[in-house]
């Protein structure tokens, strides 16, 4: 079964948005795990494409409490050093250790094996994030402004 992404084309680039995920305006995507009441966080396709090829990934430690805007992880790319901001207040309960050796997964599979950390938010269900349609509009406007 093939995933049907929402897509935006800006110039020669195609940016994909995963339906059913939640997003921050900063391009952090969140897959909800209702049973465990956690969010698996990563970079949106737009955010990873605009940041460049990932060389290094350094997550905040498991057990770290974060507030909105606090650093979840730092990522070094060929273009920038990026601090990934937390979209919600909560506790980091897992980090994707596979990225230590294969950080390129962030670029290759941002909505799958390229996830960064898992967060247990203080509030469930999470509020204050965009759904996929809302993020598509925000992302398209950001991409057009940068082109």
Tens of pLDDT, residue by residue over 3-30, are: 799 999 999 999 999 999 999 999 999 9
Domain membership of residue 17 (yes or no) is no
Q: How does the average pLDDT of the chain come out, rounded?
A: 96
Is residue 79 situated within a structural domain? Answer: yes
Count of domains for the chain: 1
Token readout for 12 is 């020669």
Residue in this structure with the two tokens 């049907």, named with its chain if needed:
4
Tell me how far apart the alpha carbons of residues 22 and 80 are, in angstroms, rounded to a whole number: 25
Q: Which pLDDT band, with edges at 50, 70 and 90, does 1 fall under? A: low
Tell me the sheet residues that pair with 82: 75
Whether residue 133 is contained in a domain is answered as yes
- Per the domain annotation, does 2 fall within a domain? no
Residue with tokens 């909800």: 32
Domain residues for the domain of 40 are 23-137
Give residue 119's pLDDT band: very low, low, confident or very high (50, 70, 90): very high
In a domain, 29, yes or no: yes
Residue 131 maps to which CATH number?
2.40.50.100
What the block records as the tokens of 138 is 């925000």
Percentages (nearest 5) of helix, strand, coil residues in the chain: 20, 40, 40
User: Is 7 domain-assigned?
Assistant: no
From the centroid of its chain, how far is CA 56? 16
């Amino acid at each position: 079964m093939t995933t049907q992404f929402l897509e935006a084309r800006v110039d020669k680039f195609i940016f994909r948005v995963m339906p059913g995920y939640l997003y921050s305006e900063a391009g952090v995507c969140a897959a909800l795990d209702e049973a465990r009441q956690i969010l698996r966080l990563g970079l949106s396709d737009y955010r990873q494409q605009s940041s460049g090829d990932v060389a290094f990934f350094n997550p905040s430690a498991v057990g770290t409490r974060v507030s909105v805007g606090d650093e979840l992880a730092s990522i070094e790319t060929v273009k920038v050093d990026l601090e990934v901001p937390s979209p919600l207040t909560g506790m980091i309960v897992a980090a994707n250790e596979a990225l230590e050796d294969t950080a390129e997964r962030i670029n290759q599979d941002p909505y799958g094996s390229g996830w960064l950390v898992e967060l247990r938010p203080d509030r469930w269900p999470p509020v204050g994030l965009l759904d996929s349609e809302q993020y598509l509009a925000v992302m398209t406007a950001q991409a057009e402004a940068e082109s």
